[in-house]
Amino acid sequence: MPHLDSRKSAPDALPSELMRRAATLGYSWLSLRDQLGGDFSLARAERFIRRQEQRRARNELAARQERMRLARELLAVARQKSWPQRLVRRALRLDAPPRMLIEQIRSGFTPEQALRLIVQEEVKRGIETDSSQDFGEAPNSVSDLRWMTVPTEWGIRVKPGAKGLTLRSINVAGYGDIPDVWPFHSPLPRGAFPLPIVPSDRYPINNKVQVWAENAVDLYEEAIQRKWRPSTEIPWSAIEPLPVELERSMSQLSTFFCERAFLSCETVGKWLSKMSYGYHEVKLYLATVEFDCARHFEVFRKRAFCNGGGMGRQTPGNFNRAVVDGPSWTVTSCLLDLLSGSFLLGLSQLGGYIASNEGDFKIFQLVSQDIARRVSYGIEHLQYALIHDLEARAAVERALTRGEEALCQDEDTDQAFRGALIILLGGGLTPKQLYKGLRELQYFKWRWVRDYVRRLAAAGIQRKDSLSPPLKKYAGLRL
């Protein structure tokens, strides 16, 4: 057999049938020439290609035998663990490796758990399936009882603990699995079985990092257990009339709290309606925040009127606009729960300090415990967001800068609020009382700024050196 000229083009160097076989094996003319080297003959090319075909045939046979063996093993394991064959087929259609399925079934992964994951993946891929046959079908009768075979987890028994049957205590088995992404855009309770086609309500907040705080479930329980009613739990009869300048100042302070309560209530409600139901712990907690804010509005409005007074002046509202314009819930939470929350918590603690009667003290004490929950959620959520979202830090720090500037701008222009605090802290309008009030106001500012910086640090943001200038001067004071 004569040698072939390797410099010729492929059609001239080798018969077309041989080149077709080489191409089937994945060899181009150049790669085949490199394999054969200098001894480039037709016979040698034929032998090389034949050996490669035989090797591929052996590999394909071995792979086919392995697939058949895995298929037999998968079916045997599925029967042994009572996995429906139709469920196994659905998993395989989603490209689940048979070996992985075998290991999962043997490890105790239940069909109910698998079906939930399969349905989630099918929803992501837009696959419409009917799962009514996966776990059997009830016999024909007057009533269709197939719904009773819903493939959710059964046998989950929980017992009340020292604090009763809490939300945390029922987060067991698959029901406690909180996904990083919730694929359903409808009010589907976590752990329930989804229908293939349900009208979508389009909840845009469906990532855990956007809302999650590990303490939300405990804060919800605390809010429910520590609920209070302004009508009966405040000793209104103990709030005796104050001197007119103090009474007007208290009404102005009450007006400020009413306005901030409205801002928080409406803002939380706007974001709450966008959050997916896969994170019901957060949604339930934020529902209590709305109720807390409504209660704060109620109690401070009643305080303004209880001695024959009335409402004071509106705030300039620059900070309100910064909160309303928040681009994400994480940013909004930082402004409401950490910046404004630290200010309001310090202010309510200050109210307890200046209270001259049991009724006022009780109001500020109860309001303080409600606001403290919001601050606690804000710290945990920001901490979670900073760990799991690399872009969150820059957005939060920009928003805090705008929020701090707006807060300071309101303080500079809101003479009514500032004057009311000075009068209340000093106890009157004499020069000596006003001087005392001004000194106490400086201490209040130092204290809330200090606490605000510490809370941000606990969440993972070192803010002391980047505070807005009006706040930075208080951060550096030693009082």
Pick the more confident residue, 420 or 51. Answer: 420
User: If you average pLDDT over residues 221-250, what whole number do you get?
Assistant: 94
Exposed e or buried b for every residue in 162-171, given b needs 16+ CB within 10 A? eeeebbebeb
For residue 302, tell me if it sits in a domain: yes
Which of 4-8, 286-290, 394-398, 452-456 has the lowest average pLDDT?
4-8
Does one domain contain both 301 and 448? yes
pLDDT band at 184 (very low <50, low <70, confident <90, very high): confident
pLDDT at 208: 95
User: If you average pLDDT over residues 196-203, what whole number do you get?
Assistant: 65
User: How far apart, in whole angstroms, are the C-alpha atoms of residue 381 and residue 377?
Assistant: 6
For residue 304, the domain's CATH number is 1.10.620.20
The most confident of the ranges 247-251, 313-317, 466-470 is 247-251
For residue 44, tell me if it sits in a domain: yes
For residue 356, tell me if it sits in a domain: yes
Exposed e or buried b for every residue in 10-46, given b needs 16+ CB within 10 A? beebbeeebbebbeeeebebeebbeebeeebeeebbe
Does one domain contain both 319 and 459? yes
> Please, what is the average pLDDT of the chain?
85
Which of 155-169, 353-367, 389-403, 404-418 has the lowest average pLDDT?
155-169
For residue 169, tell me if it sits in a domain: no
- Decide: helix, strand or coil at residue 82: coil
For residue 159, tell me if it sits in a domain: no
pLDDT at 169: 87
User: How far apart, in whole angstroms, are the C-alpha atoms of residue 356 and residue 339?
Assistant: 28
For residue 55, tell me if it sits in a domain: yes
Which of 78-82, 381-385, 454-458 has the lowest average pLDDT?
78-82
For residue 109, tell me if it sits in a domain: no
Q: What is the pLDDT of residues 141-176, one digit of tens each?
A: 444 566 677 777 777 788 888 888 888 888 888 888
Residue 70 domain boundaries: 1-78
Domain-ending residue, one of 13, 44, 78: 78
Domain-ending residue, one of 28, 45, 78: 78
Which of 88-102, 346-360, 452-466 has the lowest average pLDDT?
88-102
pTM: 0.73
User: How far apart, in whole angstroms, are the C-alpha atoms of residue 43 and residue 41?
Assistant: 5
For residue 355, tell me if it sits in a domain: yes
Q: What is the pLDDT of residues 245-254, one digit of tens each?
A: 999 999 999 9
Pick the more confident residue, 365 or 137. Answer: 365
Does one domain contain both 212 and 67? no
**29 has pLDDT over 70:** no
Q: How many domains does the chain have?
A: 2
**215 has pLDDT over 90:** yes
Domain-ending residue, one of 63, 78, 93: 78
pLDDT at 216: 96
**435 has pLDDT over 80:** yes
